[in-house]
Structure 1
Amino acid sequence: MHELEGHLQSIETSLGYTFKDLKLFKKSLTHKSYANEISDIESFEDNERLEFLGDAVLDLVITDILLRIFPDRTEGDLSRLRASIVNTRQLAEMGKKLNLGELLFLGKGEERTKGREKKSILANTYEAILGALYLDAGYQTTYRLIEAQFQFLLKRCTQEDIDLDFKTRLQEQIQKKYKQIPKYTVTKETGPDHNKVFHVTVSLGQKPLAFGSGKNKKQAEQHAASAALQILNEDV
């Protein structure tokens, strides 16, 4: 059993918020594998509903912030910016900063397979924490805390064209992990000459990774690279 009160205090310090409902906090840390292994299910309800809520709240907050930061960006640009901020890799890093891996209630099976280190579990638990925050503190406080937690990533969006640098980021990631270079292929062109849409596939060797489209080849390649990065970042 965790010394929950002490762990709660450490997370509260990192978040800058004190929970009113300790049971809610405990629930946010309870993986379904643990809830399924014990008899007192009511006392250890899993965190999946909180994760569902936290995911929605996080998307809403980040979307609202991006709309304020970039009033002239298109819906497509904003979607790609949000995806570069809200993804499994980034959320898992947030979870690590809060030491969520050490605090989780996990079942024996997940313990054996190093569940405390899995990106997907850390990311989902972080979202569950946000869901618990929303229920415990309300939207305005949760908004403020999310904005503070994601300050570095949001600041990076304003300092560089993050949505225009997907090809570079993808190449760096693939070279580091697979020692290869991604290949871009125009698969088709649609529309009239004055308003063409280019469709591009990005591949690793002979394996297609993702697809993208745009008004020119460069834009289509960037969109394909963005989609590929999202897929790679979901990989646990």
Structure 2
Amino acid sequence: MAIWKKIFFPSNLLKQNPNTKEEKIFKKQIEDLIGYKPSNLNVFYECFTHSSINNNSRDFERLEFLGDSVLSSIISDYLYHQAPDKKEGYLTQMRSKMVNRKTLNALGTELNLSDYLQKRQNTSLGENINGNLYEALVGAIYIDGGFENCRDFISETLIKQEDFEQLEKRVTSYKGLIIEWAQKNKIEINFDTFQEENAEEINIFNSIIYLDNKIITKGRATSKKKAEEIASKRAFYRLNKYINTSNKK
């Protein structure tokens, strides 16, 4: 995949100079990325514009919002036809596995999407930037090329890479898994998550999991969510025999 030069082109430049060399290069790069010839380059400039660029242009977050919904719809349609005998709960769980943040981040990284992003120097990007840009790109394709081109892009980049049997076995949230198991078996589960008091600049969170008021596992990380997930993963493996037995019922 070709890499877009680190040059920002505001949308009005396209209107004034529609046949510049830079525009032609960008158009070819986007065509290679999305699999068809784009007709509205402005939406792809918006797709790869960070909010740190203060020039009154729109940034990728609006398209990310749109792309999230379009992606969910296309994956729902795929699963509905792929698993005709499965119930709503199963389909919802599988969709969650396919569009979870970790998967989208990996996919955006594979496509080198952050290499396209225009931002101010030294701007800090979150760990989910590549997944966010993937959703923004889906939104841009929807605006430019419609639903069918979106379906083709998602099928080529996301759906075809998934092994359905492996997807069924994948765990995306250990916390959700043990909560579901505890509720199903009428076992009381509680998370006690708190921030450590220390003089360090980095925030550290501890999470303790109680089952029926007994400490099962602990987790420690730089965010509340990560600490709970680490503790939950440890609880899952500690209780694995009981969870697997319960899930087979």
> Smaller-chain TM-score range?
0.5 to 0.7
1:66 aligns with 2:74: no
Change in CA separation of 1:5 and 1:205 when aligned onto 2, cut-off 3 Å: farther
1:26 positional shift: 0.2
1:218 aligns with 2:231: no
**Counterpart pick for 1:18 among 25, 28, 37:** 37
**Counterpart pick for 2:50 among 22, 31, 35:** 31
1:144 aligns with 2:176: no
Change in CA separation of 1:105 and 1:206 when aligned onto 2, cut-off 3 Å: same
Runs of 5+ consecutive residues of structure 2 not aligned to the other structure: 1-6, 9-21, 192-208, 210-215, 220-227, 237-241
Change in CA separation of 1:131 and 1:185 when aligned onto 2, cut-off 3 Å: closer
Q: Secondary structure at the match of 2:52?
A: helix
**1-side partners of 2:180 and 2:147: how far apart?**
44
Contact 2:70 2:139 in 1 (8 A): yes
The code of the aligned residue for 1:9 comes to K
The code of the aligned residue for 1:162 comes to L
How big is each residue's C-alpha offset from its partner over 1:127-159, in whole Å with a ceiling of 9 and x where there is no partner?
A: 1111111011111221122112223334x01xx
**2-side partners of 1:87 and 1:189: how far apart?**
23
Contact 1:199 1:220 in 2 (8 A): no
Q: Secondary structure at the match of 1:67?
A: helix
Runs of 5+ consecutive residues of structure 1 not aligned to the other structure: 172-183, 191-195, 223-236
Provide the aligned C-alpha RMSD in A. Answer: 3.6
Match in the other structure for 2:167: 162
Comparing both structures, which one devotes a greater share of its residues to helix?
A: 1
**1-side partners of 2:117 and 2:182: how far apart?**
48
**2-side partners of 1:150 and 1:49: how far apart?**
22
Q: Secondary structure at the match of 1:50?
A: helix
1:206 aligns with 2:218: yes
Change in CA separation of 1:187 and 1:119 when aligned onto 2, cut-off 3 Å: closer
* Identical-pair percentage: 27
Match in the other structure for 1:230: none
Taking structure 1 as the reference length, what is the TM-score of the superposition?
0.65
| Bigger Rg, structure 1 or 2 | 2
**Counterpart pick for 2:70 among 45, 53, 57:** 57
**2-side partners of 1:220 and 1:200: how far apart?**
16
1:129 aligns with 2:137: yes
1:66 positional shift: 0.7
Contact 1:186 1:198 in 2 (8 A): no
Length, aligned pairs only: 187
How big is each residue's C-alpha offset from its partner over 1:17-56, in whole Å with a ceiling of 9 and x where there is no partner?
A: 111011111001111122xx33xx0xx2112111111000
**1-side partners of 2:40 and 2:23: how far apart?**
12
Taking structure 2 as the reference length, what is the TM-score of the superposition?
0.62
**1-side partners of 2:160 and 2:113: how far apart?**
20
Match in the other structure for 1:174: none
**1-side partners of 2:30 and 2:158: how far apart?**
16
**2-side partners of 1:140 and 1:99: how far apart?**
23
Match in the other structure for 2:197: none
**1-side partners of 2:179 and 2:133: how far apart?**
38
Change in CA separation of 1:29 and 1:132 when aligned onto 2, cut-off 3 Å: same
**2-side partners of 1:93 and 1:20: how far apart?**
28
The code of the aligned residue for 2:104 comes to L
The code of the aligned residue for 1:60 comes to S
**2-side partners of 1:68 and 1:185: how far apart?**
29
Change in CA separation of 1:219 and 1:135 when aligned onto 2, cut-off 3 Å: farther
